[in-house]
């Protein structure tokens, strides 16, 4: 099988953005860093032994965007995710996703 970088549909740009991983309707969340980013996925630094489901939301603090993300690979400190859907936070009107805006506001105003 080719290396992961050759299997990606789009090349990723190296970045260092603050982010939030959240799941279970916002009941669980933690801070992380986005290290590489493309239109379709990212590499996230989550720290050692961090456990969470394979499907979650990733909130990009800088770009004011939430990604519906799915884990495609994982190592000791990092995970690679693909984006199932992208939500500009300013356009979220679904009440069931309003917690994404609330979490972003809590981090962005610090």
| Residue showing tokens 């990723």 | 12
Q: Summarize pLDDT for 51-71 with one digit per residue, the tens.
A: 889 999 999 999 999 999 999
Tally the C-alpha atoms within 13 A of residue 73's C-alpha that lie toward its C-beta: 11
Has residue 99 been placed in a domain?
no
Please give the model's pTM, rounded to 2 decimal places.
0.88
Has residue 101 been placed in a domain?
no
- CATH at 85: 2.40.10.220
| Residue showing tokens 């499907």 | 55
In DSSP terms, 45 is beta-bridged to 33, 78
Q: Quote the pLDDT of residue 10.
A: 60
Q: Summarize pLDDT for 68-108 with one digit per residue, the tens.
A: 999 999 998 899 999 999 999 999 999 999 999 999 999 87
CB atoms within 10 A of CB 23: 16
Has residue 18 been placed in a domain?
yes
- pLDDT-derived band at 48, boundaries 50, 70, 90: confident
In DSSP terms, 79 is beta-bridged to 44, 74
Has residue 94 been placed in a domain?
no
Q: Which residue range(s) make up the domain with 31?
A: 4-89
Contact 83, 68 (CB under 8 A): yes
User: In residues, how long is the chain?
Assistant: 110
Q: Domains in the chain: how many in total?
A: 1
């Amino acid at each position: 099988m080719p290396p992961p970088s050759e299997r990606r549909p789009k090349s990723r740009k190296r970045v260092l953005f603050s982010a939030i991983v959240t799941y279970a309707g916002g009941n669980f969340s933690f801070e992380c860093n986005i290290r590489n980013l493309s239109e379709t996925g990212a590499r996230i630094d989550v720290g050692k032994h961090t456990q969470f489901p394979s499907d979650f939301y990733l909130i990009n603090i800088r770009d004011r965007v939430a990604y519906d993300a799915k884990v495609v690979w994982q190592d000791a400190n990092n995970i690679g995710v693909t984006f199932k859907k992208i939500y500009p936070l300013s356009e979220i009107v679904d009440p069931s996703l309003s917690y994404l805006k609330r979490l972003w506001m809590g981090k962005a105003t610090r």
